[in-house]
């Protein structure tokens, strides 16, 4: 618990709206109960003793000020300056590095920086300094597009991490051509006068082609490649030895399995799914109670701990789902073969049986190793049609099961919402691709009720397993979602006022639920949902018992997807010891202190995969939009800054920028405190959530930039007080020499 409070204290003190408090009021502001105060005080004293927090005049608590020399990570800006994010937390946050003081550091480099001066800017104290040493380079291999300029060959790096081109030597050695996507290894780092230089080590293909772009993203994000031979051999041995029809599970003692191959069990997945790791059954009794069976692929029976395959799966952390490509955590002979719950095939599972009354309350739970035979595989669309009466091709017993599933899911959903579960209306974007992998269109993904049915059942099973392990005091890998801090909620409360909605300064789950309900269907709904999401911390993997805020769960873990998530596999192993009545062994073999580090690694791999997916989606959509210059898009304002207004297309799920001078009809100024952009002459105001029709003026795919202009000048549209009244009405119901040119002028965005 001490580590939890340390994290909460630092996060709270870092908030830009924090006003120094004494220790006891600080504890209250963070939400520490009187009975937990001793734990909080211990955590605070440890932070204070280590110098991570200070007690100043009046016994007020704050972070230590930036001073002397610090170690941190450098982040470059295209305009030449940058920031150093310190390893430790300081009062002034990041250290600003002017263009002449970057020492040619590149984004991601670990640097030592000297604090030079501090002063007030926009009402807050900001510090600037200079980099005195580059301690560790982030990477020496860069992906980008090869271009030829009068001064020589250059690499234009992909993405936003590297802001300057790299001079390229000996291009002909790899038969590279202009506009090829290549990987360059840096041989000499940049200096004040010269660009970095490198050599091509691999040609990925022509820029703009799907295979080239996906290989580029895979390299950028260091995603894993092919499995080593020992992993493949282990997987094939497991598959060859799997002969369930010859096994008598009744005679195997602690290894026994419940044979439920005769039960009606179904899977519901997207149409393009290859691995099916969850199946559902329901049985009802005479009193109307029903027993939900959530049957999850038993990967732990085939991937033994510390084996080559286990080591590789842990390293990968999870499967990565990129548009048009899956990078699996396990070889396909397992993930798409003997572990996949394919219809008509006997498969090993771990089953969670949850008994419910008519109101959707759990009255009993048990767990078992089992063997199933899936009756039928449905897509979400098929399941939705069947629930609406279109049952052609679906077995009668499956139709009855679907109806029972829907009724139970609605009862569970109602109960969880009453308990505070928060649902954000931010649909994923689905890409429409042709055979070459080129995106030709995009739209919000289908969200019929069967999606909710499966989500509710998976959440219930995850919750039940976590509660069971907690009841036996067994350490395990949890899925945690920390409660948002009070200052973050206060900031959210201020933002939603711009939409005419009201919230308490310290809203709880019910207040957030009411807010989301009040804007449902309104123009500002997307922006409000996005604002709520940004006010939350990201969910992560950790053994710390702090629950899952958004799901309103005291106990939560990931149990339902062991084919694609290593965290789930860890939970399966611990649960298996329990099913064999080996509780002491479970406590001794649950990774112990290593769980914290494993959790950090799994959180990193998950976020890496999400970043790669988002990056590739952005590239593919921008390539499509680059052929549609002049087209109009309906967008929503999602961000405001000194340089302009950020808007997002809900159809394509991509963000673009309207620079200040292109807003039209006025001279515009950004007011950070009011979170608005206002016309000086007309008083017209642009706020978050405003719906704007824009025109595409330029697309820079390598830089991931989409430039837009309003179809009509915003000052003419009338975005002042009348617009605010409309929001209120709605809310009431988110390269040396000739070949080494001098550098160019530096002044130039699951549970």
Q: Is the pLDDT of residue 717 over 60?
A: no
For residue 63, the 8-state DSSP code is: P
**SS3 at position 306:** coil
- Report, as an integer, the average pLDDT of 16-27: 87
Instruction: Return the closest-CA partner of residue 7 out of 403, 359, 350, 480.
Output: 480
Structural domains of the chain sorted by starting position, each given as residue range(s) with its CATH number in brackets: 2-62 (1.10.10), 69-136 (2.40.50.140), 141-207 (2.40.50.700), 229-396+427-452+460-479+551-609 (no CATH), 486-536+626-734 (2.40.50.140)
Contact, 726 vs 732, CB < 8 A? Answer: no
Contact, 677 vs 668, CB < 8 A? Answer: yes
Q: How close are the terminal C-alpha atoms of the chain, in Å?
A: 22
- Give the C-alpha separation, 432 to 243, whole Å: 40
- Give the C-alpha separation, 157 to 149, whole Å: 15
- Give the C-alpha separation, 742 to 751, whole Å: 49
Question: What is the band of 87 on the pLDDT scale with cuts at 50, 70, 90?
Answer: confident
- Give the C-alpha separation, 668 to 685, whole Å: 9
Residues 6+ apart with CB under 8 A from 252: none
> Which runs of E-coded beta strand occur in 98-244?
110-121, 124-136, 141-149, 152-157, 166-169, 180-188, 197-206
**DSSP string computed for 450-513:** HHHHHHHHHHHHHHHHHHHHHHTT----EEEBPPPPHHHHHHHHHHHHTTT----SS--HHHHH
Residues linked to residue 194 through DSSP beta bridges, in sequence order: 742
- Give the C-alpha separation, 112 to 90, whole Å: 15
User: Which tokens belong to 56?
Assistant: 């100043």
- Give the C-alpha separation, 232 to 234, whole Å: 5
180-188 and 197-206 strand pairing:
antiparallel
Our CA angle for 520, 521, 526, nearest 5°, is: 75
Span 300-333, pLDDT tens digits: 999 999 999 999 999 999 999 999 899 999 999 9
More confident residue, 498 or 467: 467
Helix (H) or strand (E) holding 214, with range, is helix 210-220
Span 529-557, pLDDT tens digits: 998 998 898 999 999 888 999 999 999 99
Q: Is the pLDDT of residue 749 over 80?
A: no
Span 400-449, pLDDT tens digits: 999 999 999 999 999 999 999 999 998 889 999 888 888 999 988 888 99
Q: Please give the backbone phi and psi of residue 373, each rounded to the nearest 5 degrees, phi first.
A: -140, 100
Query: Residue 712 class from Cβ within 10 Å (0-12 exposed, 13-18 middle, 19+ buried)?
Result: middle
- Give the C-alpha separation, 634 to 693, whole Å: 5
Q: Is the pLDDT of residue 751 over 60?
A: no
Mean pLDDT of the chain: 87
Token look-up 């798409």 returns 336
Q: Please give the backbone phi and psi of residue 99, each rounded to the nearest 5 degrees, phi first.
A: -55, -40
Share of the chain above pLDDT 90, in %: 53
- Report, as an integer, the average pLDDT of 599-605: 95
- Report, as an integer, the average pLDDT of 273-284: 92
At how many degrees (to 10) do helices 380-387 and 449-471 cross? 110
**SS3 at position 372:** strand
Give me the long-range contacts of 186-194 (CB less than 8 A, separation at least 24): 186/140, 186/141, 186/142, 189/104, 189/106, 189/134, 189/137, 190/104, 190/106, 190/164, 190/743, 191/104, 192/104, 193/742, 193/743, 194/167, 194/735, 194/736, 194/740, 194/742, 194/743
pLDDT at 232: 96
- Give the C-alpha separation, 162 to 735, whole Å: 14
pLDDT at 374: 96
Of the given ranges (29-38, 177-186, 340-349, 594-603), which has the lowest mean pLDDT?
29-38
Residues 6+ apart with CB under 8 A from 725: 500
Q: Taking the model in full, what pTM does it have?
A: 0.87
Our CA angle for 143, 145, 151, nearest 5°, is: 115
Length of the chain: 751
- Give the C-alpha separation, 260 to 266, whole Å: 12
């Amino acid at each position: 618990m001490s580590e939890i409070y340390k994290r909460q204290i630092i996060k709270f003190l870092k908030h830009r709206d924090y006003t120094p408090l004494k220790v006891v009021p600080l504890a209250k502001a963070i939400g520490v109960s009187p009975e937990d105060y001793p734990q909080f005080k211990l955590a605070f004293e440890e932070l204070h003793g280590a110098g991570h927090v200070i007690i100043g005049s009046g016994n007020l608590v704050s972070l230590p000020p930036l001073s002397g020399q610090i170690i941190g990570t450098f982040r470059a800006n295209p305009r030449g300056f940058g920031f150093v994010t310190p390893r430790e937390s300081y009062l002034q946050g990041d250290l600003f590095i002017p263009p002449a003081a970057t020492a040619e550091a590149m984004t991601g480099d670990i640097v030592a920086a000297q604090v030079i001066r501090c002063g007030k800017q926009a009402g807050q104290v900001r510090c600037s300094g200079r980099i005195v040493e580059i301690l560790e380079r982030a990477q020496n291999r860069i992906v980008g597009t090869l271009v030829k300029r009068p001064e020589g060959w250059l690499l234009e790096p992909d993405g936003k991490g590297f802001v300057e081109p790299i001079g390229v030597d000996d291009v002909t050695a790899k038969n590279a051509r202009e506009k090829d996507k290549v990987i360059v290894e840096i041989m000499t780092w940049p200096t004040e006068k010269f660009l970095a230089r490198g050599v091509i080590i691999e040609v990925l293909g022509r820029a703009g082609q799907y295979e080239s772009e996906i290989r580029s993203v895979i390299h950028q994000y260091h995603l894993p490649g092919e499995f080593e031979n020992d992993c493949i051999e282990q997987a094939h041995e497991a598959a060859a030895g799997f002969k369930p029809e010859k096994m008598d599970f009744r005679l195997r003692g602690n290894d026994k399995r419940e044979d439920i191959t005769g039960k009606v069990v179904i899977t519901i997945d997207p149409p393009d799914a290859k691995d099916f790791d969850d199946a559902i059954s329901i049985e009802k009794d005479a009193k109307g109670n029903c027993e939900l069976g959530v049957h999850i692929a038993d990967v732990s029976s085939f991937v033994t701990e510390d084996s080559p395959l286990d080591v590789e799966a842990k390293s990968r952390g999870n499967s990565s789902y990129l548009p048009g490509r899956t990078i699996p955590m396990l070889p396909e002979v397992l993930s798409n073969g003997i572990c996949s719950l394919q219809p008509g095939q006997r498969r090993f599972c771990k089953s969670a049986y949850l008994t419910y009354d008519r109101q959707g309350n759990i009255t009993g739970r048990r767990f078992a190793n089992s063997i199933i035979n899936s009756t039928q595989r449905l897509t979400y669309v098929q399941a939705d049609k069947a629930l609406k009466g279109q049952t052609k091709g679906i077995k009668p017993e499956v139709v009855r099961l679907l109806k029972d599933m829907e009724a139970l899911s609605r009862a569970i959903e109602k109960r969880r919402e009453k308990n505070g579960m928060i649902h954000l209306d931010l649909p994923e974007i689905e890409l429409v691709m042709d055979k070459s992998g080129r995106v030709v269109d995009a739209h919000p993904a289908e969200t019929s009720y069967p999606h909710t049915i499966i989500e509710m059942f998976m959440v219930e099973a995850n919750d039940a397993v976590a509660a069971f392990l907690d009841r036996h005091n067994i350490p395990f890998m949890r899925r945690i979602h920390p409660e948002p801090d009070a200052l973050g909620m206060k900031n959210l409360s201020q933002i939603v006022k711009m939409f005419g909605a009201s919230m308490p300064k310290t809203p709880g789950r019910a207040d957030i639920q009411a807010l989301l309900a009040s804007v449902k269907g309104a123009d500002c709904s997307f922006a409000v949902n996005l604002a709520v999401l940004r006010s939350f911390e990201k969910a992560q993997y950790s053994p710390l018992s702090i629950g899952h805020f958004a799901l309103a769960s005291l106990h939560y873990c990931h149990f339902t997807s062991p084919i694609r998530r290593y965290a789930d596999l860890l939970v399966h192993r611990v649960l298996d010891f329990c099913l064999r009545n080996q509780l002491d062994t479970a406590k001794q073999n649950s990774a112990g202190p290593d769980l914290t580090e494993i959790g950090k690694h799994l959180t990193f791999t998950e976020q890496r995969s999400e970043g790669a997916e988002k990056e590739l989606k952005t590239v593919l959509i921008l390539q499509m939009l680059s052929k549609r210059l002049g087209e109009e898009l309906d967008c929503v304002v999602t961000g405001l800054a000194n340089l302009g207004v950020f808007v997002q297309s809900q159809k394509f799920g991509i963000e673009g920028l309207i620079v200040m001078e292109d807003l039209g009809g006025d001279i515009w100024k950004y007011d950070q405190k009011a979170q608005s952009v206002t016309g000086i002459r007309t008083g017209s105001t642009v706020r978050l959530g405003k719906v704007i029709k824009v025109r595409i003026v330029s697309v820079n795919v390598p830089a991931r930039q989409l430039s837009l202009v309003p179809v009509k000048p915003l000052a003419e549209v009338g975005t002042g007080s009348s617009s605010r009244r409309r929001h209120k009405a709605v809310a009431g119901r988110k390269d040396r020499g000739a070949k080494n040119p001098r550098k160019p002028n530096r002044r130039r965005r699951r549970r």
